Amino acid sequence: MQAFGKFSTNFDIEYISEQYIYIPQADEIMDVEQLEKMLQKKRKTVAGTIFLYNPTLSPVGYNNNSKLASQGYLFDGKYCELNFDKNCNLFASSIKDGYRGKLIEIKYLFNLNKADIEPTPILEEFDADLDKYTSNQLTRYDKELNYHDYLNIRLSGKFVFFGSGNKFDRHHKNIIAYARNIAAQAAKLGKEISFIYDNNHDATESQELAYFIPPVATGKLKEVRANAFKKAFSSYPPSIVKIG
């Protein structure tokens, strides 16, 4: 598997603006030029979308120990190959038959390319930004680079697998509404919706509440969630899987 992406920056804040993973037919290696050719035919080449919370990514040759700008990265708007993060490691071991030779787009609730943003004051800023989103007021983070206009969101492929989070602070009402609106819009667009869930809610409630358990965890939950994710992607399109 390979991962590719584009990065953007505004006012010294760094975002990922696009990300795709390629599931190889065998052991072939794809370059950026081949990726761009595939993306010209998205209807045929993109199988679906995986929605996560926020990225911590770097291009090959760079790292996440400091801002990309401080490492000399040029934000030129071009695709580059990405180092694997924990999500990509899981995807590479889990997504195989039924997806070979296809791209999967990776989207995030928030595109801010920064580790460990929850729980931090950043989420307070996100919530305040989302309260202003439809107004002309200035936001702390770039409206177009960090957030999705859910009514006009573009989702390629047949499915959306949500792993975008299940522990939203009840005080962050705008974040909760934003997550639910994206999930509802994906269903409205006719996408096959899948996710993993637990005993706290049934599948219908989980989808309505945007209660989508992230596939990557630590400790005793690591293997449980990874296995549930693998089970979900053992079919095409992926299925809804209960854990616990």
Compute the mean pLDDT over every residue in the chain, rounded to the nearest whole number. 96
How confident is residue 159, by pLDDT bands cut at 50, 70 and 90? very high
In the DSSP assignment, the letter for residue 191 is P
Query: pLDDT value at position 118?
Result: 78
pLDDT, one tens digit per residue, over 163-213 is 999 888 889 999 999 999 999 999 999 999 999 999 999 999 999 999 999
How confident is residue 60, by pLDDT bands cut at 50, 70 and 90? very high
Q: Identify which of 143, 114, 107 has the alpha carbon closest to the alpha carbon of residue 126.
A: 143
Domain total in the chain: 1
In the DSSP assignment, the letter for residue 142 is -
pLDDT, one tens digit per residue, over 164-177 is 998 888 899 999 99
53: containing domain: 2-242
Mean pLDDT value across residues 63-73 = 96
Measured between alpha carbons, how far is 217 from 147 in angstroms, rounded to an integer? 24
Q: Tell me how far CA of residue 206 lies from CA of 135, 187, 200, 201, 211, in angstroms.
A: 30, 13, 9, 6, 5
Phi, psi of 159 (to 5 degrees): -130, 165
How confident is residue 244, by pLDDT bands cut at 50, 70 and 90? confident
Q: Tell me how far CA of residue 39 lies from CA of 19, 50, 55, 64, 231, in angstroms.
A: 12, 17, 21, 27, 28
pLDDT, one tens digit per residue, over 18-51 is 999 999 999 899 999 999 999 999 999 999 999 9
